[in-house]
Amino acid sequence: MISLSNVTKTFGSNQVLLGVDLTIASGTSMVIIGGSGSGKSVLLKCILGLERPNAGSITLDGQDVTKGDRDAFLARFGMLFQGGALFDSLRVWENVAFRLMRGAAALPKPLAREVAIEKLRRVGLKPDTADLFPAELSGGMQKRVGLARAIAAKPEIIFFDEPTTGLDPIMAGVINDLIREIVVEMGATAITITHDMSSVRAIADNVAMLHGGVIRWTGPVSEMDATPDPYVQQFIHGRAEGPIESVR
Amino acid sequence: MTPTVALAALGRPVLAGLAAVGRVALFAGAILGHILRPPFYLRELGHSLLQIGWFSLPVVGLTAIFTGGALALQIYAGGSRFNAEAVVPSIVAIGMTRELGPVLGGLMVAARVASSIAAEIGTMKVTEQIDALVTLSTNPLKYLALPRVLAATLAMPVLVGVGDAIGIMGGWLVGITRLDFNSATYLKNTLDFLETWDVGSGLVKGAVFGFIVALMGCYHGMNSARGAQGVGRATKSAVVSASVLILAANYILTELFFTS
């Protein structure tokens, strides 16, 4: 279980998180929604230790995430970055097998390649993409490779940062289905950040809305449409009018 | 302007400068702290040696041959004012090995390598590749910075040595074709007056300059701001700071090596 308690984060005078309280139960899929710049990615980075919160605590199975063996902690995570974040200088299969070829339990290169090709197949990519460089792939294919890399080492917890942004609706649907399948199949805990409401409905067990630096509403996805919270209602229906100010 | 305001105006940039020196020193210490701790990324080291050492040879060689040639012409023209034309071979050799080989080689490598490292690492930072490395349990300083710093520190003395030889050859070519020197006499004068420390001091300078070049590239790349403009600024800062530090380090090393 991942638990955030009163987490705050500021960048200079910009207050991004103002006391976030959120709990994600093991084996469930939590989707965090919220406007651009509301701090969703910062929240994920705080959990991973890529950003240090100014205050508050984050625990994983009761253990403070800032303490203990960092490598062992990170080995439990996989992450799909918004832009893929594939390493340009490495071939596709080397990107996917990056973690598999490192550490005490490193696999030999041929075996790591085999596993990488299997993961690529799992996300719908043919084996002949394995020897290409990321720059030779389309945006959708890069997302899939990022997804294959995120699941390659069978992590217990997977983060997806805007997995469908910039993709056409069909490719977005394919990625959503893949994420749902992978999370169910692996029994992993997942946190997904998205603006895409079709993704929310396809991926989520639970939904949390981040607005104004705090969690405005959280609950099961089945209750999202019925919640009277005006912020959630404005966001999920994409209304320009409402309590969330929009810049025109 | 009151004295307090004037002092504050003076103190602010001094403090900012000292803070920057401190940050760079901590960054260098953090990189060097990984030298003896596994894992060792030998493939990345080999790749960096190739990129920084091998692919810099043409630019260093061309710089050296033209510099050696021009140096021979200048020394001949200056020396002729007091009938000292015969010193051309020895001064070209000493000038190339002690100063021009390492300094011009260092500046050329700074332009080529510091910019490339800063742009590459800066782009990796803004496209979240550095964050991805961390989530894959890989320390970016160890994986990206250490191989580049080691490779530049090891490759630069070799580049300086090759540059010295090519520069001296440039002077010899100009000497025998334009200044009517006898080839054998030119070479004999070069070797007779050249001391081991002339070459050695240049190689040590090369190692220091290589370290500076890669350190500045990595530092500015890792601290790149967002977007294309941020990467562009990091690249520019890397080249400017590496060049200035090379010239400053050259003066300090020359004081240390030759004035005692």
DSSP one-letter string for A90-151: S-HHHHHTTTTTSSTTPPPHHHHHHHHHHHHHHTT--GGGTTS-GGGS-HHHHHHHHHHHHH
Average pLDDT, stretch B72-98? 93
Tell me, what's the pLDDT at A238? Answer: 86
Tokens at residue A59, please?
């625990």
CA distance B127 to chain A (A): 6
A133–chain B Cβ distance below 8 A for any pair: no
In chain B, what residues touch A81 (CB-CB under 8 Å)?
Answer: 128, 131-132
> Is the separation of the CB atoms in A178 and A123 below 8 Å?
yes
Q: Are residues A132 and A227 in the same domain?
A: no
Same domain, A161 and A184: yes
User: Do A2 and A66 belong together in one domain?
Assistant: yes
Shortest distance between the Cα of B132 and any Cα of chain A, in A, equals 6
To probe the interface with B, which of A87, A96, A133 has the most B CB atoms within 10 Å?
A87
For residue B2, the model assigns a pLDDT of: 83
- Nearest residue in chain B measured CA to CA from A104: B39
Please tell me the predicted confidence (pLDDT) of residue A181.
Answer: 86
Query: Residues 6 or more apart from A19 whose CB is under 8 A from it?
Result: A6, A7, A8, A56, A213, A214
Please state, rounded to an integer, the average pLDDT across all residues of chain A. Answer: 91
pLDDT at A239 over 60: yes
A45–B137 CB contact, under 8 Å: no
Closest to A79 measured CA to CA, from A200, A206, A213, A188: A188
Q: Which CB contacts under 8 angstroms, 24+ apart, belong to B240-245?
A: B241/B216, B242/B110, B242/B114, B242/B212, B242/B213, B242/B216, B242/B217, B243/B107, B243/B110, B243/B111, B245/B212, B245/B216
- Please list every residue in chain A whose beta carbon sits closer than 8 Å to the beta carbon of residue B135: 48, 50, 74, 77-79
pLDDT value of residue A183? 84
B214-244 burial code (b ≥16 CB/10 A, e <16): bbbbbbbbbbbeeeeebbebbbebbbebbbe
Confidence bin at A196 (pLDDT 50/70/90): confident
Question: Domain holding A19: CATH number?
Answer: 3.40.50.300
**Residues B110 and B239 sit within 8 Å (Cβ to Cβ):** yes
- Residues of chain A with C-beta less than 8 angstroms from the C-beta of B42: none
pTM (whole model) above 0.80: yes
Taking 80 as the threshold, does the pLDDT of residue A96 lie above it? yes
Region class of A130: left (phi > 0), else alpha (psi between -120 and 50), else beta: alpha
Closest-CA residue in chain B for A73?
B137
Q: Is residue A15 part of a domain?
A: yes
**Cβ contact, residue pair A99, B127, below 8 Å:** no
**Cross-chain Cβ contact B137/A75 below 8 Å:** yes
Q: Which residues in chain A touch residue B123, judged by CB atoms under 8 angstroms apart? A: 88
User: Chain B within 8 Å of A86 (Cβ-Cβ)?
Assistant: yes
Question: How many domains is chain A built from?
Answer: 2
pLDDT of residue A104 exceeding 80: no
Q: Tens digit of pLDDT for each residue in A12-39?
A: 889 999 999 999 999 999 999 998 888 9
Nearest CA in chain B to A83: B127
Of A154, A185, A212, which marks where a domain is finished?
A: A154
Same domain, A231 and A213: yes
Nearest to A50 among B39, B134, B136 (CB): B134
- Tell me the residue range of the domain where A236 lies: 1-76+155-248
Query: Which residues in A lie closer than 8 A to residue B138 (C-beta atoms)?
Result: 98, 102
Report the pLDDT value the prediction gives residue A122, as an integer from 0 to 100.
Answer: 87
Cβ neighbors of A60 (< 8 A, separation 6 or more) are A1, A2, A3, A47, A73, A76, A157
B77, B88, B83, B111: which is closest to B170 by C-alpha? Answer: B88
- Predicted pLDDT at A242: 81
Give the chain A residue whose CA is nearest to the CA of B131: A50
Question: Which DSSP string corresponds to A42-87?
Answer: HHHHHHHTSS--SEEEEEETTEETTSS-HHHHHTTEEEE-TT----
Residue B102 pLDDT > 70: yes
d(CA B206, CA B190): 21
Confidence of residue A245 (pLDDT cuts 50, 70, 90): confident
Does the distance separating the beta carbons of B39 and A81 come in below 8 Å? Answer: no
User: Which of residues A98, A121, A154 is at a domain's end?
Assistant: A154
Give residue B69's pLDDT.
96
Interface contact flag, B131 A99, Cβ < 8 Å: no
A139 and A58: one domain? no
Q: Based on the domain organization, do A61 and A113 belong to the same domain?
A: no
The answer as to whether A65 is a domain residue is yes
Contact A233, A242 (CB under 8 A): yes
Residue A140 has what pLDDT? 85
Are A217 and A100 members of one domain? no
Asked if A151 and A122 count as a contact pair (C-beta separation under 8 A), the reply is yes
What is the pLDDT, as a whole number, of residue A36? 85
pLDDT at residue B219, rounded to an integer: 97
Neighbours of A99 (CB within 10 A): 23
pLDDT more than 90, % of chain B: 88
- Least trusted range by pLDDT, from A237-241, B54-58, B70-74: A237-241
A82 domain residue, yes or no: no
pLDDT of residue B200: 97
Pair (A128, A160) in one structural domain? no
Average pLDDT value for residue range B208-218: 98
| pLDDT given at position A241 | 82
φ, ψ dihedrals at A242, nearest 5°: 150, -175
Q: How confident is the prediction for chain B on average, in pLDDT?
A: 95
Q: What is the pLDDT of residue A178?
A: 84
Give per-residue pLDDT as tens, A134-179. Answer: 999 988 899 899 999 999 998 999 999 998 887 788 888 888 988 8
Q: For B141-190, what is each residue's pLDDT tens digit?
A: 999 999 999 999 999 999 999 999 999 999 999 999 999 999 999 999 99
What is the pLDDT, as a whole number, of residue A139? 86
Has the ipTM of the complex gone over 0.90? no
Q: What is the percent of chain A where pLDDT is above 90?
A: 63
Of B123, B131, B138, the CB nearest to A81: B131
- pLDDT given for residue B260 in this prediction: 66
Q: Does one domain contain both A136 and A192? A: no
- One domain for residues A44 and A97: no
pLDDT for residue A246 = 66
Distance (Å) from the alpha carbon of B185 to chain A's nearest alpha carbon = 51
* Domain shared by A159 and A45, yes or no: yes
For A96, nearest residue in chain B (alpha carbons):
B136
Q: What is the mean pLDDT of residues A179-188?
A: 86
List, for residues B192-207, the tens digit of each pLDDT value: 989 999 999 999 999 9
pLDDT per residue as tens digits for the range B241-258? 999 999 999 999 999 999
Across B104-121, average pLDDT: 97
Chosen domain end from A127, A154, A181: A154
Residue A81 lies in a domain: no
H or E segment and range at residue A174? helix A169-186
Question: Token pair for residue B221?
Answer: 């790349």
Provide, as residue numbers in chain A, all residues whose Cβ is less than 8 Å from the Cβ of B134: 48-50, 74
Contact B131 A85 (CB under 8 A): yes
Show residues of chain A in contact with B133, CB under 8 Å: 87
Residues A37 and A133 in one domain: no
